[in-house]
Amino acid sequence: MQKLSSMLFSMILCCAGGAVAAGTIKGKIESSSPKKLANAVVYIDQAPGSFAPPAQHERMDQRGMTFIPHILPVVAGTTVDFLNNDNVRHNVFSPSQEKYNLGTWPTGEIKPHVFDKVGVYVQLCNVHPEMEAYVVVLQNPFFHLTGKDGTFEISSVPPGTYVLTAWHEKLKKPVQQTVIVVDGKETTVTFSY
């Protein structure tokens, strides 16, 4: 989804001005704990303009008594479909931000929820308290979810000075640094925590 949003933004820039004015932010997260490398959301805190949510819904499954994916970054206004793929009843609720409870439903059913406000929403199941996941709602589509090696790449970023943030569920607070993006250039960033 992140790459699709960036591609759409590039197409808009290209069609509006004839040439794409954008750069790339690449980097890596370094940590003494390998568990903190994967599933970090690296994102531009605020970007100028407004960004429409994707028409296609995102999805978070409940399968094998686990939320999949464990971390789901989305742009504000995105609809997330919660699907129960287990042979037991599941529930989805969040005590975070705008607090909601989608109820409990059987195998094969989907419950949608629109995430309008920026923030981190923990996802819980009141039937199975060991289940936990996160939906990270962002102001813009310039984000990347790191893999096991902690690397990230955010492409099609308009030139400018930004606050780049790295959020991980194991951190008490996100880590930030200022970055400058130049048209046609690559900016390299390292986060250490």
pLDDT of residue 19: 55
Domain total of the chain? 1
- Residue 13 clears pLDDT 80, i.e. is over it: no
- Residues with Cβ < 8 Å from 75, sequence gap 6 or more? 5, 51, 53, 54, 137, 138, 139, 140, 141
Of 43, 38, 79, 77, which Cα lies nearest the Cα of 60? Answer: 79
**Cα angle, residue 140 at apex, residues 162 and 80 outer, rounded to 5°:** 150
Mean pLDDT of the chain: 90
Domain of 142 in residue numbering reads as 2-192
Whether this model's pTM surpasses 0.85: yes
For 35-83, how does the pLDDT look when each residue is reduced to its tens digit (9 = 90+)?
A: 889 999 999 999 999 999 999 999 999 999 999 999 999 999 999 999 9
**The two three-digit tokens of residue 120, written as one number:** 């981190």
**The two three-digit tokens of residue 163, written as one number:** 């606050």
Q: Strand runs (DSSP E) across 95-174, as ranges?
A: 100-105, 110-115, 119-124, 132-138, 143-145, 151-157, 160-167
Report residue 6's pLDDT band, with 50, 70 and 90 as the boundaries: very low
Q: How far apart are CA 160 and CA 45, in angstroms?
A: 13
Alpha helix ranges (H) inside the chain: 2-17
Give the number of C-alpha atoms closer than 13 A to the C-alpha of residue 138, restricted to the C-beta side.
Answer: 28
For 119-150, how does the pLDDT look when each residue is reduced to its tens digit (9 = 90+)?
A: 999 999 999 999 999 999 999 999 999 999 99
- Residue 12 clears pLDDT 60, i.e. is over it: no
8 A C-beta contact, residue 2 and residue 135: no
CATH code for the domain of 51: 2.60.40.420
